[in-house]
Structure 1
Amino acid sequence: MLYSLHETGYYGATPLRLAALATREFWSSPLNPARLTDFGRRMFATADLVTNLTRRYRRPEWGIDSVEIEGQTVKVRPQTVWSSPWVKLTHFSRDMTDMRQAGRRAVEPAVLIVAPLSGHYATLLRGTVQAFLQDHEVYITEWENARGVPVMEGRFDFHDYLDHVRDMLRFLGPRAHVVAVCQPGPPVLAAVSLMAQDGEAARPASMTFMGSPIDARHSPTVTNKLAEERPFAWFASNMIYTVPPPYPGMGRRVYPGFVQLYSFMSMNIERHQEAHLRYLQHLMADDGDSADKHLEFYDEYLSVLDLTEEFYLQTVDYVFQRYLLPKGELVHRGRPVDPSQIADVALLTVEGENDDISGIGQTQAAHELCAGLPAELKADYVQPHVGHYGVFNGRRFREEIYPRVRDFIATHESRVHKGVQAA
């Protein structure tokens, strides 16, 4: 019922939205001599704000068509190289002619960035991708919005997610590098563990976990405490709704993205109100640059996707309530998952000092679980003065975190190549 009410509210606001659009066009038209007056700017700003508050926010574009390498602009073309109904694997292909002009002639390490399936689209990692593109062949998972997947495609749960990660690593071939950002940490570690147990040639050369809840018992945050305080049945009864028509996934039971979005916004409602007030003031003052920055942030922040019922509930159960992976109790399709069997996949963990989503120690827990790894294949880094988002985006990520991840990958790319040559 809640999903239907949400859609009814959106369509009910259509007259207001159309009126705001018409008003915005009128007061921004170069044919309107009053558009630059104080009254005209106020009318335009108010109409623009109403338009943005009532419109539909769809999957954002990547907007990455080039990257600068050694002072040379290198053209970039995103292309889907592998897919299922639930995900597409996007390769950011760099122009080889431009790469040679930049002095890069050798094949650079392939990196699979596993994006979170936790409410936002993979484009939230735009800055992460741009950084990695300077030195790597970058692939990223773009998970589908569950409301867009027909019921006939079947279920998609935690175990399916794990299998998809394995399949994509197999597609990339032997000894790629995998980077898990936030939510994917536990299923990616489980996937690599199973690949190590099976001695798969396609197991990665290194794995990097950034702000991931490997063991959510450490430094519990508000999010962790909510999962602990509420019984599992509460999440099943209050967080799951049915997708209404006309979406392709109508009839599918999901955890709607708008529920999570409203929950996050309600935690910082005053900050969001102040941000929109500043946006209104920037428009009235004709400060286009500041207004554009506001729109860029909220275009991403307000674009959300739905999660399948089974994936969401299993994640709550496995990761945040029963802690199956760190307790050695995770079983995948009848097989126990044992990270201690990982013997040659280098491990790097990255955390933010002020992370209020995945507290300090939650990601570091991977080191204890990977007991079979020698010390020289392990590294840990805690970035001072950053929160959760700063672990994978922003200035400190670009200048302080990424260089460490880049060097770690380069070290173990070289290690693997030497091992192959020796063999």
Structure 2
Amino acid sequence: MLYQAYQTQSDLLSPLRLMAQHLSASLWLQDTERSVLRKVAAACDVISRLRLTHSRPPYNIGQVMVGDQEVPVTEEVALTLPFGTLLHFRKAGVEPQPPVLLVAPLSGHFATLLRETARTLLQDHDVFITDWHNARDVSLLHGGFSLDDYITYMIRFTEAVGPGSHMVAVCQPCVAALAATAVMAEDDNPAQPRSLTLMAGPVDCRVNPTEVNRLATSKPIEWFEKNLINHVPLPHTGFMRRVYPGFIQLSAFMAMNPERHKQSFRNIYDHLEHGRTEEAQVIQDFYEEYLAVNDLPAEFYLETVAKVFQTYDLPRGELTWNGRKVNPAAIRRTALMTVEGERDDICAVGQTVAAQDLCSSVRPYLKTHHVQTGVGHYGVFSGRRWNQQIYPRVRDMIHATMG
């Protein structure tokens, strides 16, 4: 019922937002010097942006600097599965570079959240990304999608990239990436990654619990299923699929700091009113991404909450994949790097580095850990310190293990 109510409200408000969008564009074209028109145009712009979208925004990575040369980038589909696509950012006329599989979170937003991460990696690597589909657009004919399926996708995507690849997992998928690497190592899979970089991921949530961790343990898993899982309404392709709606996830995040978001939209209005369009555009671009929500399959969401955040199956040695125990100690030849942010209030310091002890068979010279001072969660994989301080370490580790 909640999803149906949300959909009805969205449909009813859609004409108003569309009218505001057109009116704003029309007023800017007519006369942007008159203060009254500017105020109306700015207000209409803000109204038109107060909405959620459910389609993946574009990556907009048209070119990238490789050395001192600007190289065009094109997107190619390397492998398509029902719940996700392996997307390849191909660069023409470039000498072979180490292939990197960038594993994006499936946690309420689209993989484009890692746009800057991918763009930076593209300078020195051949980059692939896990482009997760919106579960509400996946027909029930394709069945469910569990944590086991997620790990299976990691294995299949890595095999599609091919031997000699390197895996970089950001945030939530660190557990699945580590599990997939362990399974591939135990099977002596020729495509097992040469290096695994885990960035700000919840490997062991028993360490320095955050507010997010406390919320996950505050209720039994039955509460999450009863109160947060909804059926996809018509007219979507995934009609009647059980999902954890992206709009619920986003609402929870925004409720943690509502004044900050209110101020951001006030800033958009003020910048536009006073002709500071470039400053407004920075905030507009952020919210275009932030307000694009991705529904999660119910099975995957509930199992992640239960096994990662409540019972800590991986660090306790109890995580299974298709009934088989996951053994991180089976990893021997894959170099391991863990990265954490000093001010991360989502995945605290200590939760990701726990992977170092779990991978007990990896030799010390193949292990690296870095705590980045002065950054929170998103600063680990985007922003100035990511580009100038974290990325060079990740790049050097990858290139040192090319073999």
- Alignment TM-score > 0.5, same fold: yes
Offset at 1:56? 3.6
Distance 1:135 1:54, change over 3 A: closer
- How far residue 142 of structure 1 moved from its aligned partner, in angstroms, is 0.2
Question: Residues 295-338 of structure 1: CA distance to partner in whole angstroms, max 9, x if unpaired?
Answer: 10000000010001100000001100010010001121121111
- Aligned in 2, Cα 1:125/1:155: closer, same or farther, shift over 3 Å? same
Q: Distance in 1 between matches of 2:330 and 2:291?
A: 41
Aligned residue in 2 for 1:93: 90
Matching residue of 2:81: 84
Q: Structure 2 vs 1, CA of residues 18 and 62 (structure 1 numbering), >3 Å: closer, same or farther?
A: closer
TM superposition shift of 1:175: 2.4
- Whether the aligned pair in 2 keeps the contact of 1:57 and 1:299 (CA below 8 Å) is no
CA contact (8 A) 1:17 1:55 kept: no
Among 45, 67, 70, the residue aligned to 2:64: 67
Query: Which amino acid counterpart does residue 263 of structure 1 have in structure 2?
Result: A
Q: Which amino acid aligns with 2:112?
A: T
Instruction: Tell me which residue corresponds to 2:143.
Output: 154
Cα drift, residue 52 of structure 1: 1.2
For residues 187-202 of structure 1, the aligned pairs below 5 Å read 187-202=176-191
Question: Which residue of structure 1 lines up, in the alignment, with residue 345 of structure 2?
Answer: 356
How far did 1:201 drift?
1.1
Tell me whether 1:39 sits opposite 2:36 in the alignment: yes
Cα drift, residue 367 of structure 1 = 0.6
Letter of the structure 1 residue corresponding to residue 127 of structure 2: V
How much has 1:57 moved relative to structure 2?
A: 5.5
1:224-239 map, 5 Å: 224-239=213-228
Q: List gaps (5 residues or longer) in structure 2.
A: none
Note closer, same or farther for the CA distance 1:55–1:222 as it changes in structure 2 (3 Å cut).
closer
Aligned-partner Cα distance in 1 for 2:254–2:55: 18
Alignment partner for residue 237 of structure 2, among 241, 245, 248? 248
In 2, distance between residues paired with 1:239 and 1:22?
35
Q: What code does the residue aligned with 2:368 have?
A: A
Shift of 1:115: 0.5
Q: What secondary structure is seen at the aligned counterpart in 2 of 1:249?
A: coil
Q: Secondary structure at the match of 1:390?
A: helix
3-state SS of the aligned residue for 1:152? Answer: helix
* 8 Å contact kept, 1:210–1:363: yes
Q: Does residue 383 of the first structure (1) align with residue 372 of the second (2)? A: yes
Q: What corresponds to 1:221 in structure 2?
A: 210
Matched, 1:124 2:113: yes
Structure 1 residues 4-15: aligned runs within 5 Å? 4-15=4-15
Report what 1:23 is aligned to.
23
Distance 1:344 1:21 in 2: 55
Whether 1:396 and 2:389 are equivalent positions in the alignment is no
8 Å CA contact retained: 1:197, 1:341: yes
Q: Which amino acid aligns with 2:42?
A: A
Q: Does the Cα contact within 8 Å between 1:13 and 1:54 map onto a contact in 2?
A: no
Partner of 2:100: 111
State the aligned residue count: 403
Q: Which runs of 5+ in 1 are unaligned?
A: 100-104, 417-423
Does structure 1 conserve the Cα–Cα contact (< 8 Å) formed by 2:84 and 2:131?
yes
- State whether structure 2 residue 175 is matched by structure 1 residue 186: yes
Matched with 1:421 is: none
Structure 1 equivalent of residue 46 of structure 2 = 49
| In 2, Cα distance between equivalents of 1:137 and 1:64 | 14
For residue 116 of structure 1, report the CA deviation from its aligned partner.
0.4
User: Shift of residue 58 of structure 1?
Assistant: 2.9
Aligned pairs for 1:338-349 (under 5 A) are 338-349=327-338
Structure 1 residue runs of 4+, over 4 Å off? none
Give the letter aligned to residue 153 of structure 1. H
In the other structure, the counterpart of 1:420 is: none
**CA–CA separation in structure 1 for the residues paired with 2:192 and 2:18:** 53
Partner Cα separation in structure 2 for residue 404 and residue 22 of structure 1 = 47
1:217-249 alpha-carbon deviations (Å, 9 max, x no partner): 111111000111111111011110010000000
Correspondence for 1:419: none
Deviations 1:136-161 (A, max 9, x none): 11000001000000011101110000
Q: Deviations over 1:236-281 (max 9, x none)?
A: 1111001000000010010000001011111110000111111100
Question: Residues 161 and 12 (structure 1 numbering): CA distance in 2 closer, same or farther, change over 3 Å?
Answer: same
Which secondary structure state, in structure 2, belongs to the residue aligned with residue 128 of structure 1? helix
Three-state SS of the structure 1 residue aligned to 2:185 is helix
Q: Is the 8 A contact 1:80 1:90 kept in 2?
A: yes
Identity %: 44
TM-score, normalization by structure 2: 0.98
- RMSD over aligned Cα atoms: 1.1
Paired residue type of 2:401: H
